[in-house]
Amino acid sequence: MSQKYKSRAEIHNSSRRSRKKPRKKRGFRRFLNFVGILLILTGVGLLLLDPIKNHFIRERTNMNTVANVSRDDIVRNNGANVSFDWTNISALDARQVLMSNVNPEDLPVIGGVAMPELGMNLPIYKGASQEGMFYGAGTLYPEQEMGKSNYSIASHHSIHKDLLFAPLLHAEYGQKIYLTDLEKIYEYEVTNIETISPDRVDVTYPTEVPTITMITCDSGLVNRVIVQGTLKETYTINDAPKESLDAFKIKQTVPEQN
């Protein structure tokens, strides 16, 4: 059988083709490596985003707790022109919190809410705004008053059990809820805990018995958790018991006794 020999040109072309294939493979590997690194960096960024968001919320919430505002501030803020449209409030989002340009000092603080057994001490803002619920609780109706009818407030749920209204998921019957406008402190006792559908706005309607209604999302961000309490005692700020003052960290507002 005769043997067919390749010409030099054929050998050269074959060699070139064999050298090109590894280059394509190396290029594809580099692309995969780039995508892998990008995904890792994105994952790290997302992991860092959440603690940064939590720091923002804690820092800005603490700026507006009632220990850091005056009664004059609250009186002035009660006259603020705000929205009570709470139907457009969306779930807590890290990017929204970090991109929010609102100055916490511009938010209209009108009081505070505290549940010492849950470690909660938050400012209450007039109206229902996304920014207000980033850094405290918002009121749902313009005519509501502490210590009268149904005082309804809402805030965000967080996966961190000590942030905003997330502690409500651990509320128990009989626990104390305090409200203050720095003129008086109102002591309520938890009498109702429910998970309801988002359309149950009836829980915020006026009541004959003075009530507080606190609303947040459940852990699945589908339904709503409400914690309600009935009014037990009302104190002037100067005559309030120590435990109620401690709940708000406002001991400095009580004049020293001679």
Determine the Cα–Cα distance for residues 151 and 232; give it in Å rounded to an integer.
14
Task: Let me know: does 82 contact 127? Beta carbons within 8 Å.
Answer: yes
- Count other C-beta atoms under 10 Å from residue 187's C-beta: 21
Coil, strand or helix: which one is 122? Answer: strand
DSSP secondary structure string, 138-204? Answer: EES-TT--TTSSEEEEE----SSTTSTTGGGGG--TT-EEEEE-SSEEEEEEEEEEEEE-TT-GGGG
| Nearest residue to 162 (alpha-carbon basis) of 108, 111, 116, 225 | 116
Coil, strand or helix: which one is 137? Answer: strand
Strands (E), the chain: 109-115, 120-125, 137-139, 150-154, 176-180, 184-196, 211-217, 224-236
Annotated catalytic residue: which of 156, 157, 160, 170? 156
CA distances from 230 to 15, 36, 150, 151, 227 (A): 88, 56, 9, 10, 11
Annotated catalytic residue: which of 55, 157, 160, 217? 217
For residue 170, the one-letter residue type is H
The residue written with tokens 């005519």 in the block is: 143
Residue 156 catalytic?
yes
Residue 217 catalytic?
yes
Active site amino acids: 156, 217
